[in-house]
Structure 1
Amino acid sequence: MIKDISLARKQTRVIDPAKNLHQRQLKQRIAFALIWLAGIIAITALLFIVGYMVSNGFKVINLEFLTTRPAGGVSGKGGISTTIVTTIYLVLLTITIAAPLGIGTAVFMVEYTTEYAGKKNLVGYLINLIRTSVEILAGVPSIIFGLFGFAVFVSYMKLKFSLLSAGLSGACLVLPLIIRTTEEALLTVPKSYREGSLALGTTKWQMIFGVVLPSALPGIITGIVLSVGRVIAETAVFWVTLGGSYRLPKNLLSSGRTMALHVYMLASETTAFDKALGTSAILIVIIILLNLAINISSKQFSKKFSGK
């Protein structure tokens, strides 16, 4: 009996509120300190990499470097003029192919498959297959897309090492990214926008084209700009589809060399490491400008469509 009473007293012992509060505050301070430490380490690493590449790369950047084409062979002589133009050509071609397909797929998945989602029929299984395929493609290594492009576009379709082969392979690479970002952007559009538009007598296509897509435009643009950044920075896909010629492409079936591919070739096949650093510095500046463009365009479109 005495043991039961002492046990009950221990169980009903009141915890000191001040001590409990102090312990929780200590845990919070430790968690915040670890979070800040992780953020500081990440920022320090980023600044170190960017600072090193830019400070060393800008030493070789001048007007001649930007306006002359690379020299042939393994000397590493010349500039990067043709690589800049080839990169622009490839970005335009890739986005022209991938953007309509990606946006159209996302519109279909969000606006036309809602009533079939979860149903155990042929259409429902097809929708699940499409979603699963997009998820799988988003995680496939880029070299796999390069090997696919080499096997299908370069060898089977006889397009050779060319801008067209590289553009089609690059479109396959960025297609999942455009689909996912566009789908997320469409899902953020309030349902009341759709209901209000249909209540005014518009057709479903008019509602999508005139109301939903403009409202989701900031997210769509973000996905496209991110895709542009990936095309600019990619090497594995274009190493086996673009060819690597230092000359300027004359048409879609001509070979070429992007800036990222040029950096790889300079670093691996020549001794011109300083010029590889210079090209890398320009690439980093372009990526930074693209990220700034994402932020600015998203804010501008958000203000425009929110009426602010």
Structure 2
Amino acid sequence: MAADTSDDSAASGFGQISRSKDVAFRLLALAATLIGIVSLAALLLNVAIDAVGWLDWGFLTNPPHPNPNEAGFLPALVGSIAIMLLIALITFPVGVGAAVYLEEYANDGYLTRFIQLNIANLAGVPSVVYGLLGLGLFVGLLNIGYGSVLAAAFTIALLILPIVIISAQEAIRAVPDSQRQASYGMGATKWQTIRNVVLPRAMPGIMTGTILALGRAIGETAPLIMIAAPTTVFGIPNSLLSKVSAMPLQIYNWASYPQTEFQYGVVAAGVVTLLVVLLTINSIAIIIRNRYQQRT
């Protein structure tokens, strides 16, 4: 009887310690979450307050100007949107196609493992290295042109392509093999199985990875500097070979001006515009992803 009482006390003490650790870990995780959210909210609020009075229709439709009251963001805004559209058109089909080949067609041999290892390594290469690659390949070898729309899009597309491939591979890998076997059992070919079974079910994950990659691409500055993209242009690009600036470059240029109005008000208005464009692009991609989820 005494032994049973001792065992019950030990079990009760162990359970109490476990619950205490669980509560402590939950509070620690909550504190870490709140620190990140509160810090980000404070930063965004500070930027939004500085942008009041500067972010208006004239700011969005005027070209840059040495007078802060007349400075505009239109060429950089149009340039960033053009670059992002080209990046999406390049990276999505190439990245998904590479992922489909590696997951569905390639043999598990040394060559495939070597390719997988290099893709994983390329995802962690600093962006300035891709800028040097773009300068040597697209500007020097292919002679696309310094700071052109095509050179900027191809360079940043190389930067985010490994991320798109890896995320697409994970999404394709997550599709159960039983669904593939069921499709084969119905007489479907491999391509029909990939098109009608694998890709529709993997598309939400593929879209999520693409959204994250595009979010990184829109804020990149180092590759654009390396391919000699101008920090300021006064007209919107009218062809794929036109000189182009981007919102991060224009914001960086304004931050170097000595006037206080540029360093705070105009820069803050540019940052808010950049965030709005980023959130808009992400929202459109999320809507498309959710539609695929509903279909599947």
Shift of 1:303: 1.9
| 1:262 aligned partner, one-letter code | Q
| 2:157 aligned partner, one-letter code | A
Deviations 1:236-292 (A, max 9, x none): 111222612413222222111111111111112453122111010111223334444
Q: Distance in 2 between matches of 1:212 and 1:27?
A: 42
Which of 164, 173, 178 pairs up with 1:187?
Answer: 173
Q: Distance in 2 between matches of 1:95 and 1:270?
A: 36
Match of 1:196? 182
Q: Distance in 1 between matches of 2:258 and 2:213?
A: 30
Match of 1:82? 75
Q: Secondary structure at the match of 2:241?
A: coil
Q: Secondary structure at the match of 1:16?
A: helix
Which of 112, 115, 137 pairs up with 1:127?
Answer: 112
Is contact 1:242–1:255 with CA below 8 Å preserved after alignment?
no
* CA spacing shift, 1:20–1:226, aligned 2, 3 Å: closer
Which of 107, 110, 128 pairs up with 2:103?
Answer: 110
Shift of 1:177: 1.2
* CA spacing shift, 1:297–1:200, aligned 2, 3 Å: same
Is contact 1:242–1:256 with CA below 8 Å preserved after alignment?
no
Q: Distance in 1 between matches of 2:236 and 2:245?
A: 8
* CA spacing shift, 1:270–1:259, aligned 2, 3 Å: farther
Which of 132, 140, 146 pairs up with 1:147?
Answer: 132
1:177 aligns with 2:163: yes
Shift of 1:149: 0.9
Match of 2:153? 167
Q: Percent identity?
A: 31
Match of 1:253? 241
1:227 aligns with 2:213: yes
* CA spacing shift, 1:97–1:292, aligned 2, 3 Å: closer
Q: Distance in 1 between matches of 2:57 and 2:258?
A: 22
Q: Distance in 2 between matches of 1:54 and 1:293?
A: 23
Shift of 1:55: 2.2
Q: Structure 1 stretch 95-104 or stretch 243-252: which is displaced more?
A: 243-252
Q: Secondary structure at the match of 2:81?
A: helix
1:67 aligns with 2:61: yes
| 1:136 aligned partner, one-letter code | N
- Give the gaps of 5 or more residues in structure 2: 1-5
Q: Distance in 2 between matches of 1:211 and 1:24?
A: 44
| 1:298 aligned partner, one-letter code | R
Q: Distance in 2 between matches of 1:302 and 1:257?
A: 36
Q: Secondary structure at the match of 2:54?
A: coil
Q: Secondary structure at the match of 2:125?
A: coil
Q: Distance in 2 between matches of 1:136 and 1:268?
A: 34
Is contact 2:119–2:162 with CA below 8 Å preserved after alignment?
yes
Q: Distance in 1 between matches of 2:281 and 2:90?
A: 20
Match of 2:88? 95
* CA spacing shift, 1:225–1:242, aligned 2, 3 Å: farther
Match of 2:3? none
1:287 aligns with 2:281: no
Shift of 1:22: 2.4
Q: Secondary structure at the match of 2:256?
A: helix
| 1:165 aligned partner, one-letter code | A
Alignment RMSD: 2.0
Q: Structure 1 stretch 131-140 or stretch 32-41: which is displaced more?
A: 32-41
* CA spacing shift, 1:98–1:63, aligned 2, 3 Å: same
Is contact 2:95–2:164 with CA below 8 Å preserved after alignment?
yes
Task: Name the larger-Rg structure.
Answer: 1
